[in-house]
């Protein structure tokens, strides 16, 4: 009996809250704040070239007015070139069918390997930046 009365009281309370909740939401006196920020946008026209004073080397202007600007639009770019790992050349040779591969110089701009395939011995040089390989036949393997 107690459970039925508790459920009935809970139902009455919930219906009372649901009836008053829409009335609170429709309150017209409430002020609404606009969180969007109004910003002024300045547009830069990058098509216009800036005026740079460049010295005409054919004239003899005073030293104070000499300005040399030999830069191009691309000269200020920084290009990061990463070296490939020595293991890359080893794996490329292994995939190419070379089996006893020995990497004996993995420093500098070229990596050097010796490898054997079909009873022939080869010396391989790989460019550390581009990954291009040069394979040179040394002789027959013992």
The answer to whether residue 93 sits within a structural domain is yes
Structural domain includes residue 26 = no
Give yes or no for residue 24 having a pLDDT over 60.
no
CA atoms within 13 A of residue 14's CA, in its CB half-sphere: 6
114 within a domain of the structure (yes/no): yes
| 98 within a domain of the structure (yes/no) | yes
Q: Does residue 18 fall inside a structural domain?
A: no
What single string gives the DSSP state of each residue in 44-60?
A: --TTSPPP-----TTS-
pLDDT at residue 75, as a whole number: 60
List pLDDT tens digits, range 53-91: 666 666 555 555 555 555 666 565 566 778 999 999 999
If one compares 17 and 117, the residue with the highest pLDDT of the two is 117
pLDDT at 71: 60
pTM to 2 decimal places: 0.45
Q: Looking at the 3D structure of the chain, how many domains does it have?
A: 1
Main-chain phi, psi angles of 104, to 5 degrees: -110, -5
Q: Is residue 11 part of a domain?
A: no
- What is the CB-side half-sphere exposure of residue 112 using CA atoms within 13 A? 6
Query: What's the domain range around 105?
Result: 86-140
Residue 36, pLDDT score? 73
The H-or-E segment that residue 16 falls in is helix 2-25
For the record, the structure tokens of 8 come out as 């009935």
**Residue 20, domain member (yes or no):** no
Domain assignment of residue 112, yes or no: yes
pLDDT-based confidence at residue 5 (cuts at 50, 70, 90): confident
């Amino acid at each position: 009996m107690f459970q039925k009365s508790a459920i009935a009281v809970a139902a009455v309370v919930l219906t009372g809250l649901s009836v008053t909740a829409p009335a609170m939401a429709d309150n017209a006196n409430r002020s609404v704040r606009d969180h969007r920020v109004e910003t002024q946008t300045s547009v830069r026209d990058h098509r216009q070239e800036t005026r740079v004073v460049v010295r005409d080397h054919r004239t003899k202007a005073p030293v104070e007015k000499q300005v040399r600007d030999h830069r191009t639009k691309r000269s200020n770019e920084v290009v990061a070139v990463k070296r490939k790992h020595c293991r890359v050349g080893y794996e490329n040779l292994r995939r190419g069918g070379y089996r006893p591969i020995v990497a004996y110089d993995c420093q500098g701009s070229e990596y050097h390997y010796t490898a054997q395939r079909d009873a022939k011995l080869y010396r391989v040089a790989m460019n550390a930046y581009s990954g291009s390989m040069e394979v040179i036949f040394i002789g027959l393997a013992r």
